[in-house]
Homo-oligomer: A and B are copies of this chain.
Amino acid sequence: MSSGIDVAIIGVGLVGSAVIAQLSSVSPLSSLHVIALQNSKKTLLAEPGQRLALGANGEWKESLASSPVDALSLDELVNKLHEIQAQNKRHIAVVDNTSDDGVASFYPLFVQAGFSVATPNKKAFSGSLDLYSHILHSAMQPEVLAKGPLVYQESTVGAGLPIISTLEDLVITGDKVKKIEGVLSGTMSYIFNEFSPPGGSTRKFSDIVTVARANGYTEPNPGDDLSGSDVARKLTILSRLIPELVNALPDGFTSVDTQSLTPAGLRDEKDADTYVKRLPEFDAEFDELRAKAQANNAVLRYVGVIDVENKVIKAGLESYPADHAFATSLGGSDNIISFTTQRYSNRPLLVQGAGAGADVTAMGVVADLVRIAQRRG
């Protein structure tokens, strides 16, 4: 791999814990030294010249909780990381495992400080073009900054599935992307794989959402999934990697043509329990959509579509023939993404698999750290 890098981790929830578990248990990763951990309450910093002792059984959790240092501001954290770097003389990568806008808005400052960023947090890349350009301009001017900081974001779309890297490889080798189409939300995938399987179903939409919520497959408020904004964010991230569409969404995901599945009568319902309790009032609407699809031997899927030639970027419910890969091949909360390009023109390049979950999300983040270490370690 390389002589290694130092890693500062912000956010130690499910994904952050899985990142730490991979870094502390996989021996080829031993040259990636964790030197800082931070959650909303505490910061734990390694002594200069040292790395944090994480322990094989999550002992870092106790060390962090009992740290004498209250959570630093991000400005203070940058200063501390500089102090450590002055001693260690190693490249530093910051891992943001939060879904926080505040941390995301700080990436330009991390990068200006010379630190790389690896993150599953979609916020910085799917918000305003302004922030995005700011990060790009700080990090990715290749000829100027041949040894400068890097920004990696594989897990923002499809978790550990090779989606961002595949799109980047297509583009940099000169392929022309024509269309990207996919089931990009694990929650939406689960709901419609259950509601509209290839063989048809009579289950109620509200029942499926209720079960999904009980199993933790949805956000605490399922309305946050049904809004489609998660898919719109992922489409924004992908579209900005396509040269023709870099500037297509100045305001980010809010500019994506997004169909919300929250019924009109529930748009103002902010209380999650009430939202779920009232959802059966609208089952007939969903039944009707499904009946129409079934009558055409088709299924319903909530998909994201990027049509490059027509500059259409949209998220919404579409129907697919019952023998289409989106109907037959999907199960569970699988993501699937299809790239149609000049080279993959008659038959698309497909990537499919679990698109959510702490371990697979962490895998994408850790693989990004490996690439940073290979290039900057």
The answer to whether B172 and A162 touch across the interface, beta carbons within 8 angstroms, is no
The answer to whether B353 touches A344 (Cβ under 8 A) is: yes
- Which residues from B are CB-within-8-Å of A248? none
Q: Which listed residue, B3, B165, B349, B360, touches A343 by the CB 8 Å rule?
A: B360
Q: Would you mind naming 12 contact pairs between A and B with Cβ atoms under 8 Å apart?
A: A25-B174, A26-B174, A160-B343, A173-B370, A325-B325, A329-B350, A332-B347, A334-B347, A343-B363, A348-B353, A350-B350, A351-B351
B367 touches A173 (CB 8 A): yes
Quick check: A169 and B174 within 8 Å, CB to CB? no
A175 to B357, CA, bound (A): 14
A143 on interface, CB distance cutoff 8 Å: yes
A47 contact set on B, CB distance < 8 A: none
Please encode chain A, from 193 to 211, with 1 for each CB lying within 8 Å of some chain B CB and 0 for all others.
0000000000000000000
Contact A351 B354 (CB under 8 A): no
**8 Å CB contacts to B: which residues of A338-377?**
339, 343-344, 346-354, 357, 359-360, 362-363, 366-367, 370, 374-375, 377
Docked Cα-Cα span, A281 to B135, in Å, equals 66
Residue A146 CB within 8 A of the other chain: yes
Which residues from chain B contact A370 at a C-beta distance below 8 Å?
169, 172-173
B350–A352 touching, CB < 8 Å: yes
Q: Does A68 contact B (CB under 8 A)?
A: no
Given A328-B325, A350-B329, A354-B347, CB of A169 within 8 Å of CB of B162: yes
Residues of A in contact (CB 8 Å), total 53
A:153-209 near B, CB below 8 Å: 160-162, 165-166, 169-170, 172-175
Say whether A112 faces chain B, with CB atoms less than 8 Å apart.
no
Bound CA span A172–B371, Å: 11
Complex CA gap A160/B174 in Å reads 13
Assess whether A28 is interfacial by the CB under 8 Å rule. Answer: yes
- Is A331 part of the contact surface with B, judged by Cβ < 8 Å? yes
**Chain B hits for A28, CB < 8 A:** 172
Contact A162 B162 (CB under 8 A): yes
Q: In the docked arrangement, what's the CA distance between A129 and B323, Å?
A: 43
Residue of B26, B146, B349, B357 near A161 (CB, 8 A) is: B349
Contacts of A334 in B (CB 8 A): 347
Is A265 at the interface (CB under 8 A from chain B)? no
Looking across the interface, which residue of chain B has its beta carbon closest to that of A365?
B173
Question: Do residues B169 and A367 form an inter-chain contact, with CB atoms below 8 A?
Answer: yes
Instruction: Decide if A359 touches B343 in the complex (CB within 8 Å).
Output: yes
Min CB distance A171 to B, Å, is 8
Give complex CA distance A359, B175 in Å.
9
CA A363 to CA B166, docked complex, whole Å = 11
Q: Are B166 and A162 neighbours in the complex by a CB distance under 8 Å? A: yes
Instruction: Check if A66 is an interface residue, CB within 8 A of chain B.
Output: no
Partner of A352, one of B328, B349, B359: B349
Shortest Cβ gap from A4 to chain B (Å): 9
Let me know if A29 is at the binding interface, CB within 8 A.
yes
Q: Nearest chain B CB to A371's CB is how many angstroms away?
A: 8
Q: Is A142 an interface residue (CB 8 A)?
A: yes
Contact B146–A2 (Cβ < 8 Å): yes
A145 to B8, CA, bound (A): 26
The 10 A-B pairs with the shortest beta carbon distances in the complex, nearest first, are: A349-B353, A26-B174, A350-B352, A169-B367, A162-B162, A1-B142, A173-B366, A328-B328, A173-B363, A3-B146
